[in-house]
Amino acid sequence: MRILITGGAGFIGSHIVEAYLQQGHEVLVVDNLSRGRRENLPPGVPLIVMDVRDPALRSVAADFRPEVLNHQAAQVDVAAATADPIEDASVNLLGTLNVLQAVARAGVRRVIVASSAAVYGEPERLPVEEDHPLRPISPYGLSKMAMEAYVRWLGERHEIEWVILRYGNVYGPRQTIVGEAGVVARFLRAMRDGSRPVIFGDGEQTRDFVHVADVARANLLALRRGAGGVYNIGTGREVSIRELYERLGRLLGDRGEAEYRPPRPGDIRRMVLKVERAARELGWEPRIFIEEGLADLASRT
């Protein structure tokens, strides 16, 4: 298949590019390299350095004629979104709309988009299933929620198949220390540098940590399955930030104390995702749980 992938030079996007190439697909990456890096991409992968808000995206799509759009590009920082919600909405909402319209005109058949557990806000019940009410508590969650609504609208208007993947906290190789879920990368960096890792809040807040290789595999399965579906992509395991910190400390032989700072606005208290729908409809299940994923990362440091 011919696949246009936005944000393909970023952390998650570059793993998806690799997974698509391994299956023999033709890939074109659009990324403005604000966070992504050319070196994240395997050699020879075509990259167009462009902002997703650029009207010129229309001619890029018209020339490439993608069968599938995989949309990963986003403003990914919850704190930055809270500080500047207009910029967040500009990239995550208007940028997404610009990409969607460009590929719709070019005859795309399916769009796969990266959403987030942030759309749920503070959960009423755990684990969170896909039909849980959407009450985001951050502008980032709001822009992702609105993005999802536009994807559905576009799908109906142009008869384009769509798949929405709501990721938990993704971690793994190539993650940078900024971003929505950079906590694993931040802890690793601090422990390596001998500085004190920072925990925002009391450390009892929880997340569902999902390995990037599993996320890439979900995006591979979404090429052929799951049309018209919204899927949580997590592990179903609730892990506190303190537990994460202690696990990494044990792996790296670090006994330093963390530095506790006030909680950040927009941070959810508890999160763990129900992932049975993805198992049933996409044929996807997480394979790498936190013990293995963290041990692998620690062995690379």
Nearer to ligand NAD, 128 or 255 (CB): 128
Nearer to ligand NAD, 35 or 217 (CB): 35
- H/E element holding 20? helix 11-22
How far is the C-alpha of 286 from the C-alpha of 279, rounded, in Å?
9
Amino acid identity at 38: R
SS3 19: helix
What part of residues 59-88 is at the interface with ligand NAD (CB under 6 A)? 72-76
Question: Which residues make beta-bridge pairs with 28?
Answer: 4
Nearer to ligand NAD, 155 or 182 (CB): 182
* Ranges assigned E (strand) in 133-188: 161-167, 169-171
**Which range touches ligand NAD (CB under 6 A), out of 5-13, 237-245, 260-268, 289-297?**
5-13
Q: Is the sign of the CA dihedral 238, 36, 72, 301 positive or negative?
A: negative
How far is the C-alpha of 133 from the C-alpha of 117, rounded, in Å?
12
- 14 contacts: CB under 8 Å, gap ≥ 6: 8, 36, 40, 41, 174
Nearer to ligand NAD, 38 or 196 (CB): 38
Among 28, 45, 70, 95, binds ligand NAD (CB under 6 A): 95
How far is the C-alpha of 68 from the C-alpha of 110, rounded, in Å?
5
The verdict on 136 binding ligand NAD (CB under 6 A) reads no
Q: Is 220 within 8 Å of 266 (Cβ atoms)?
A: no
Size of the site for ligand NAD (CB under 6 A): 31
Nearer to ligand NAD, 26 or 176 (CB): 176
What part of residues 13-32 is at the interface with ligand NAD (CB under 6 A)? 13, 31-32
Catalytic residue among 120, 140, 167, 171: 140
Q: Give the contact letters, 165-204, x = binds to ligand NAD (CB under 6 A), - = no.
A: --x-xx-----x--xxx-----------------------
- Is 150 an active-site residue? no
The verdict on 206 binding ligand NAD (CB under 6 A) reads no
**Rounded least distance, CB 222 to ligand NAD, Å:** 13
Q: Is 164 within 8 Å of 282 (Cβ atoms)?
A: no
* Burial (CB count within 10 angstroms: exposed 0-12, middle 13-18, buried 19+), residue 252: middle
Residues that bind ligand NAD (CB under 6 A): 7, 9-13, 31-36, 51-53, 72-76, 91, 95, 114, 116, 167, 169-170, 176, 179-181
Catalytic residues: 140
